[in-house]
Amino acid sequence: MTLENTNSNIILIGMMGTGKSTVGRLVADELGFELIDLDAEIERMESRTIADMFESDGEAYFRDAETATLHSVLLREGVVIATGGGAVLRHENCSAMKESGFVVALAADAECIIERVRGDVNRPLLAGDLEERVKRIMAERKDKYVFADVTVDTVGRSADEVATHILTHYRG
């Protein structure tokens, strides 16, 4: 069976800085699918930035908004969804993603992620000591991505190479 023939969605999960948005654009363009960047969709729905949500209402509020938005976009067909790194923190999100499409975990080591996200002021979870925060978040989430249909290591690979790898697995 070829998943592409079922018009199945592709859902990209993984730590921040693994390339979900960049690779998602390439995969969506190749398939003629719409790319939905979940964080951007949350900001659009909330009419404010994620940093503002964290500052004003806290992480729990943001996670509720993330869950509601994710479940809404998963109802669509023919989309590539680039999730935020923490979308996997709730089991209900993981179950919904698994039921709604082909789930791809993008992976990278701590050093690579730190290099990619250094200087990004739009990541509220990285306030403070960047290296310590990234390593802590990675340790907390290390088992959260195992439900993916396939895992792709992005270290040393271009976005095009990662996209090609995903499409090969997706097309079966």
- Rounded Cα gap, residues 24 and 163, in angstroms: 8
What pLDDT was estimated at residue 4? 43
Handedness of CA 44, 30, 20, 167 (dihedral sign): positive
Sheet holding 9-14, edge to edge: 34-37, 79-82, 9-14, 101-107, 150-153
Closest of 145, 155, 150, 147 to residue 169, by C-alpha = 150
Taking the whole predicted model, whether its pTM rises above 0.85 is answered as yes
Which residues have a Cβ under 8 Å from the Cβ of 119 and sit 6 or more positions away? none
pLDDT tens, position by position, 112-131 = 998 888 766 555 555 667 78
Range of the domain at 67: 3-171
How far is CA 25 from each of CA 5, 83, 118, 146, 160, rounded to the nearest angstrom? Answer: 20, 13, 22, 23, 10
How high is the pLDDT of residue 129?
76
Dihedral Cα 73, 79, 80, 83, nearest 10 deg: 0
Per-residue pLDDT, 121: 54
- Strand ranges (DSSP E) for the chain? 9-14, 34-37, 79-82, 101-107, 150-153
pLDDT in tens, 45-73: 999 999 899 999 999 999 999 999 999 99
10-residue mean pLDDT profile of the chain (172 residues): values are 58 94 97 97 95 92 97 97 94 96 96 81 61 88 94 96 97 88
**Structural domains counted in the chain:** 1
Q: What angle do CA 26, 32, 36 make, to 5 degrees?
A: 65
Which pLDDT score is estimated for 5? 37
CATH value at residue 32:
3.40.50.300
How far is Cα 137 from Cα 131, in angstroms, rounded to an integer?
10
